[in-house]
Amino acid sequence: MKLQKLYAGTIFLLSIALSIAFYIFRDYFKEASSLGLLSLFAVNFISSATFFIPSPAFLAVITGGDLYSPILVSIIVSIGAGLGDMLGFLFGHSGRRLAKEKLEKSSKIRFLEKHFHKHGALIIFAMSIIPNPFFDAIGILAGALNYPILRFFTIMLAGRFLRYWILAQFGSKL
């Protein structure tokens, strides 16, 4: 149980630290899009790893689409954003482990879990395409409701890829 609390606390503190770092160094991250594909990965990872803090990472994708192949940009930034989004999922999953007994006894949670497992793929895919800060809540919810991690990552990655491909295509036309 202590290891689970340490895990949950570490995930939470990492998210807070990344959010603070993104806020403090926001000007650097805005300019980092000119540093190449690695910076596109890093900007999108950090942007997605911060909870509920909107960021201008989409500007880096548009700029990247102008500088590089839109498909390559879409792949790189989707992986970066996808890995960053996994922090919310892991945070929710660690919270579930801490409150496992209470969650399993609650009929409302079991009902929500059943329906999220049934319709979660559509929710995850749609919310990962639409630019919004609420996707963090979807990731946390998916983790807390014990949604399969590989399924979550795959669906979210597909949605992110579609969004970033559209943005990179837009950038390539500028």
User: What element of type H or E holds 15?
Assistant: helix 2-24
Does residue 169 have a pLDDT over 60?
A: yes
pLDDT tens-digit profile of 117-128?
A: 899 999 999 999
pLDDT tens-digit profile of 15-34?
A: 556 555 655 665 655 555 45
Residues 6+ apart with CB under 8 A from 6: none
Q: Is the pTM of this model over 0.85?
A: no
pLDDT tens-digit profile of 87-122?
A: 889 888 887 766 666 666 777 777 878 888 899 999
* Domain regions of the chain by residue span: 2-173
